[in-house]
Amino acid sequence: MAEPSYIELLGYGPNGWGDDLLWGAWETVKVAACAYAVGIVLGLIGAGAKLTGRRVMFVISDVYTTVVRSVPELLLIIYIFYRAPVALQALARALGSDSAIDLDPFLAAVAALGFIVGAYTTEVFRGAILAVPPGQMDAAKAIGMSWRLRTRRILLPQMLRYAIPGLGNIWLGTTKEAALVSVVSLNELMNAGKQAAGGTKDYFFFYSIVALCYLVITIASMAVIARLERWSNRGVRRV
Amino acid sequence: MFEAIADLYQQFLSGLPESLAGLIDFVVALFPKLLEGAFVSVQLLLLSGVVGNLLALPVALARVSRNPLLWVPSYLFILVMRGTPLLVQIYILYYGLGHILGQIPLVRSSFLWRHLDAFWYAAAAFAINTAGYSGEILRGAILAVPAGEIDAARAFGMSKGLILRRVILPQAIRISLPTFSGETIALLKVTAIASTITVYELLRVTNEAYAASLRFDECFISAAIVYIALSYVLTRAFYFAERQINKDRLPPSVLKAARPLEAPRAA
Amino acid sequence: MRKHVIGGIVAGALLALASLSAQAQDAIKFGVADEPYPPFASKDASGKWVGFEMDLMDAVCAEMKAKCELVPVAWEGIIPALQAKKIDVIWASMLITEKRKQIIDFSDKYYDTPHMFIGPKSVKVDTCPETGICKDWMKGKVIGVQISTAHANYAKKAFGDVAEVRTYDKQDNVNADLVAGRVDIVLADAVAMDYFLKTDEGKDFEKKGFAPNDPLYGAGVGAGIRKEDATLKENLNAAIKAVRTNGTYKQINDKYFNFDAYGTTPGS
């Protein structure tokens, strides 16, 4: 029997790994997107903590960003993936509930990756908030807007414009960090590639295809980010 | 004198509750092994950092060139390096290329094959990846060199090569140093990925220590501490270098300002 | 404002999902190593897990009259996964060793097979009874083992001072590097190695010797469970015993092997 051609190997069905790879790519994008969402929430909280006057909050947030900045993502992912359920259980117990919180691999991976992304978004948001001309907030205060109204109508929309480039960069990083999650075994793209490569011994081919998939995700993301940057800068005068 | 310290240590341990003493003892015994692994990590960092950044120079120069034969391949190279995870790149090299090379009888029976262990594959992958990232950074820095200085150099009759060597590059390096320091810290973190292809750097040593002792938290938290320490040392070193390079032109207050955090490096 | 709302939804959704999964607890989660380990456990072309261990698991679950769920976990992290309650049982060809018994509990053994060295057919190897392969032969060689296994521990103990013991995350990768010529000899489970030797990749390799029955190797393969799950342990043991006595074990055994996988032959 002739050896399957490369086109066949990528196809569907039992002999073709194409569907596994596509499914893996979809899982990867899912993990990255959810982790990114978690990271944005954490980033807003972290930036807020750094910007309040309170020393304690600042230190906690600073420790957070320093640790994520210094410790390899791989180590953080391994640690959080296996310890997050235990930590959450302790949290649940402290809050009085007794049920065993069960994090399936997907959620644990999202937690781990989100934790990492949060540290980077903290810095981006912090820089972006600081970049909004303070005069605007002062003016809003002067006409009697409440803190919530001020934040919602003045600060956040303006901040977005400064934050988008940084956030875009972080998204690109997230999609690639999602590959590390394969180490704690999730059914994502890298693992799909490993199985295909291991099954057919065609390592070079399949890992290259995996790289290509990531490249496609990156290029597509870059296009979207460029669009967003143009949109967020509409109406801004070119200096 | 060492016996006296050892004695004190034992006395200290015996005074503590059983589990705590066991924990401290374990961590103390663990650290030498971790430091060995850290040593390999640093070797990896230095080797790929130096080679990669040297390679970044031609990459950046090609990228800023107006000749499409130069900037198109350079652009594609940088795109691929930054657009694909480092984990995949290292796998392609170690398992992919390695498997192919292993099939060639000439390579396999050669003297080099035994010594071509995972470390070199990892160093190669990191160096190539660094060339891409640093190439892009250097390009930005080259473009940021004030045009006036280049004009002045040309007015003096300096040749292109001389301008490059005397004006553009020194300035570009100075401009890119902050970003570059962030990249190097990122490179340290990235050496951990080499653990997936059996290089005995810090994370791998940690994994093995865990496999032998089954003490999860102790092993991984200790490793995290070592990484934080290494990162701190690197950050201070770069901070010092930045101060030195910029001594002549920035006021003290600016030199004391905090550095912004860089976006995460590709995995 | 929108950020708050979205953030709130996300956080809420995560917590809700987490607690939802907490409800589905009646299924016992069996953790299997997320890598191909034929003939014990591997994925077939359709993605279903098959093999000796998988059939045994179905039989045991039927005996326990419980609903069982298969959860693939990376081998290196399978014990932390058990501790974190991601899985309730480790059913991944894990040897019952003293070291592991310090942290988790085990059911009774459900199989016990010898531990074998394999290497290239073209290379001659000296065998010695104390260590399987002579230490002298091992000088300067590279031994491939899977990380976090009793094989890795034994290799380090017996040959760590003369040879390089290289650990890999998956047995598959050990085999791949053996084929690539990066390791000289591999120590792993005899049955799994037998299977590998019969494949296309393994045709240039052969069995070189057996590792002796060192105390490091413990007492056969069993199911790992958390220390506090005493009832689960009882149920598992009862089920394993039942499967042994009512002939199902023999049925499954004969489907895959022509020897008794339950036995204890550290033999030669």
- In the predicted model, is pLDDT for residue A173 greater than 50? yes
Residues in C closer than 8 angstroms to A156, CB to CB, are: 1-3
Q: Report pLDDT for B28.
A: 86
DSSP characters over A143-171? TT--HHHHIIIIIHHHHHHHHHHHHHHHH
B264 within some domain: no
Q: Which chains are adjacent to chain B, needing at least 3 Cβ pairs under 8 Å?
A: A, C
Q: Report pLDDT for B100.
A: 79
Instruction: Using CA coordinates, name the residue in chain C closest to A41.
Output: C7
**A191-213: string of b/e by CB count within 10 Å (b at 16+)?**
bbbbbbbbeeebbbbbbbbbbeb
Q: How many domains does the structure of chain B reveal?
A: 1
Q: Is this model's pTM higher than 0.80 or not?
A: yes
pLDDT in tens, A178-224: 999 888 867 788 888 887 787 777 788 888 889 999 999 999 999 99
B148 within some domain: yes
What CATH number did the domain enclosing B164 receive? 1.10.3720.10
Residue B136 corresponds to which tokens in the numbers above?
A: 């892009």
For residue B149, the surrounding DSSP H or E stretch is helix B147-155
B190 within some domain: yes
* Contact with chain B for residue C201, Cβ under 8 A: no
- In the predicted model, is pLDDT for residue B115 greater than 80? no
- In the predicted model, is pLDDT for residue A75 greater than 60? yes
B254 within some domain: no
Q: Report pLDDT for B73.
A: 92
Q: List the 211-240 stretch of B: residues with Cβ below 8 A of C.
A: 211-214, 216
B263 within some domain: no
- Give whole-number Cα distances, C32 to A118, B175, C50, C90, C107, in Å: 32, 52, 11, 7, 16
Distance of residue A232 Cα from the nearest chain C Cα, in angstroms: 16
B178 within some domain: yes
**Residue B20 C-beta-side C-alpha neighbours within 13 Å:** 6
pLDDT in tens, C245-261: 888 888 888 888 877 77
Percent of all residues in chain C with a pLDDT value above 70, rounded to a whole number: 88
Residues in B closer than 8 angstroms to C176, CB to CB, are: 95, 99
Best residue in C2, C3, C169 for a mutation probing chain A (most A CBs within 10 Å): C3
Q: Residue C266: pLDDT band by 50, 70, 90 thresholds? A: very low
Contact: C176, B95; criterion CB under 8 Å: yes
**Identity of the residue in B88, B196, B264 whose CB atom sits nearest the CB atom of A211:** B88
CA distance B22 to A103: 31
Instruction: Using CA coordinates, name the residue in chain A closest to C88.
Output: A102
- DSSP classification of residue A116: H
**Domain assignment of residue B194, given as a range:** 24-246
Contact: B192, A174; criterion CB under 8 Å: no
B252 within some domain: no
Contact: C14, A107; criterion CB under 8 Å: yes
Best residue in C76, C102, C151, C177 for a mutation probing chain B (most B CBs within 10 Å): C177
CA distance C126 to C123: 10
B234 within some domain: yes
Q: Report pLDDT for A36.
A: 95
CA distance A222 to A164: 12
Contact: A83, C80; criterion CB under 8 Å: yes
Contact: A88, C176; criterion CB under 8 Å: no
